[in-house]
Structure 1
Amino acid sequence: MNNYSYNSLIPSGIYSLVVIGFWTIWCLLMVEWPQIFALPSVRAIARVSIVFVPAMIFYLRGNYENSIFDYFLLRKNWVQGVIFGVGIATLYFSLGWLVNGDTRQSAFHFPTGFSIWVNFILGSPLAEEAFFRGVLLQELRTAMGTTLATVVSAFAFTLLHLPQWLILDNLFGVELLSLSLTIFTYGIIFAIFVNLTQSLWASLLPHWINNFILQALAN
């Protein structure tokens, strides 16, 4: 591992710990003072900011030769990424709909509310993709190669979700393990999409669509 690899690995690892650490602290604050920190709009803004701001700071720390759209893989191969992302999401949910039949059609409602859209549907997926697939995955690839970077970035993506499950939802045992494996699998799949297309749209669009449909079925 050369000096450039170390220079990529150490900062990205530190930023990952900062993101997970700050979200853990915020979850603890929501337990202690829910009337302030657990307000839906406050929680939504905090959740997005805690992940997105470090991604932007990481970009600004030394990528002056690249535009923000190039660094986060939003311009290169964007058409391929959009087609791939929409196609994969459509195929996934079409198959799910066929398997489930008509049992859930009446349960679909268009999500409403600022916190729902900022936290669950648009904001959090954008922040998570920007950091974990836009920053962490790309930086780790220079340090440890594509395969290991994919696994490590997916593991970090899973760790981000643990504070909410453990502190707010009190999940343990089989349920916690099941959710962790699910999110880890999503992290692997989204990373593979980006690796294949070199476009963040390939993971961002399925992430958006997935969260939108989950919220629509949950209402």
Structure 2
Amino acid sequence: MSNLSINIVRVAAPLRQQVIDLLRAAIADGRYSPGDRLVERELCETLQVSRPILREALRQLEAEGLVHNVPQRGLEVVTLTAEDVRQIYQVRGALESLAAAEFVARASPEQWAVLADAMAAFEAAAAEGVPSRIRTAKTMVYDTLIAGCGNPTMAQILKALHNRIQLLRGVSLAEPGRLPNTIREIREIYEAMTARDTVRTCELYNEHIASAARVTMQALAAGR
């Protein structure tokens, strides 16, 4: 747990937010695995921040459902159960397909251009085959879509949900054959969106989420 890469730039953003982003990324990338303890003293030394700043950051991650307080152990990265996964994907499927349809209806030309760039970056990362870059690029596609849906309430809910989904994304993408299918599914969704076909967009999105949920549940059941 001491392999956290540090790149605190104290003038670029509030220090608390930098710590939150750094720890969130470390959890998403698997540098902190489910069940790993987050020891305040070690993190303060590694991040070179005060304990009050660190505690504020940890409280935010706890509110997002990424860490929790375990009696006799303290804070640790959450371990999602099969039921947690089922519920997460159920909510995600309902909201994200709606967000995609709303993007088609409301997005500005500038937002369409950002989505095109995000798609190109995702496909380039997939071609490189580096898991961390793939996850980052895939998240960029989702974030762009959510930002352009024109519904701040839905965007806020999905953003919080995606923070927990980051715990699962590496599991699904690591399954044999999943990555090519993911690339194909996202490409089909994008093509339906650019064709302004909201019905087809929702259908494809629901299929994509159902496929991701099925693969993730199978991997968890197999202990991977």
Structures share fold, TM-score greater than 0.5? no
Please give the range of the TM-score, normalised by the shorter of the 2 chains: under 0.3
TM-score by length of 2: 0.26
| Larger fraction in helix | 1
Determine which structure has greater relative contact order: mean sequence separation of CA pairs < 8 Å that are 6+ residues apart, divided by chain length: 1
